[in-house]
Amino acid sequence: MKTKLHFTRGEWAAALFLLTIMIASNIYYFCHQNSQKPSCDVHLYEVQFQQFAQRQQQLADSLEAVRQQSFANRPHVRSDTLPPFKQQERKQMYDIVKVDLNSCDTNDLLTIPQFGSKRAAKLVEYRDKLGGLHSFSQLQEVYVMQNIDTAKLKTYLYINKQKIKKLNINTATYQELVAHPYIDAYLTKLIVRHREKNGPIRDLDELQRITHAYPELIEKLRPYLVFS
């Protein structure tokens, strides 16, 4: 064993290398420990979150209070306290002006919900052939009207039966009779033949006897025929 610390140059170099490694290890350990993230305080975060939630709720309550106060201060005017000209203006704004099915044109029908130009034209055309409508159920006889709720149309339409154009069964020509939707060519021939041989037809009962038309058809013709 060497005494008085007499080392060779190589031994000194080895000792210095070893000392360097020991110092570097201590420095690394110290730095690594200090670089670790501190543990989270969960309780502190919960308290902060609750405080934030309380502030948000207070803000929402304040906004709601302002909205309620603004609504309470808003003036509410009853319609019956308005001046007469204002009452009339409000009434005209909401009242529905009904259209007479027996005097309207296609432009009038275009103002009614569910009516387009084609549907309006077909309805007016069929109405004119009949001479007018006497019942809302007749709307279902127009094929473009079969998928419409007739009850809802009563909100916008009405029927003035006084405007139905009557057909004189004893003076109408063959073309006029056969043009009516309820009178076909066979029925027209029977009517014309009977008039030529026996004279005028007196009433619906005689018309049914000479044509053997079923009772439902006679009832459909009732609003449209006269026998003078």
The domain locations on the chain are 99-163, 167-226
Report, as an integer, the average pLDDT of 179-191: 96
pLDDT of residue 52: 72
Q: Is the Cβ–Cβ distance between 142 and 122 less than 8 Å?
A: yes
pLDDT of residue 54: 74
pLDDT of residue 184: 95
* Secondary structure (3-state) at 100: strand
Q: Which of 44-53, 78-87, 212-221 has the highest mean pLDDT?
A: 212-221
Would the pTM of this model clear 0.85, i.e. be above it?
A: no
The domain made up of 167-226 has a fold known as DNA polymerase; domain 1 (1.10.150)
In the chain, % of residues over pLDDT 90? 51
Tell me which of 90 and 180 has the higher pLDDT: 180
CB neighbours of residue 104 within 10 Å? 19
Q: Provide φ and ψ at 76, rounded to 5°.
A: -110, 120
CB neighbours of residue 187 within 10 Å? 20
Quick one: pLDDT band at residue 18, thresholds 50, 70, 90?
confident
Q: Provide φ and ψ at 225, rounded to 5°.
A: -115, 145
User: Strand ranges (DSSP E) for the chain?
Assistant: 99-100, 157-158, 167-168, 225-226
Report domain 99-163's class: mainly alpha
pLDDT digits (tens, 9 = 90+) for 46-74: 777 677 777 777 777 777 777 666 655 65
- As a whole number of angstroms, the distance between CA 155 and CA 161 comes to 18
Quick one: pLDDT band at residue 151, thresholds 50, 70, 90?
confident
Q: Kindly report the average pLDDT of the chain as a whole number.
A: 81
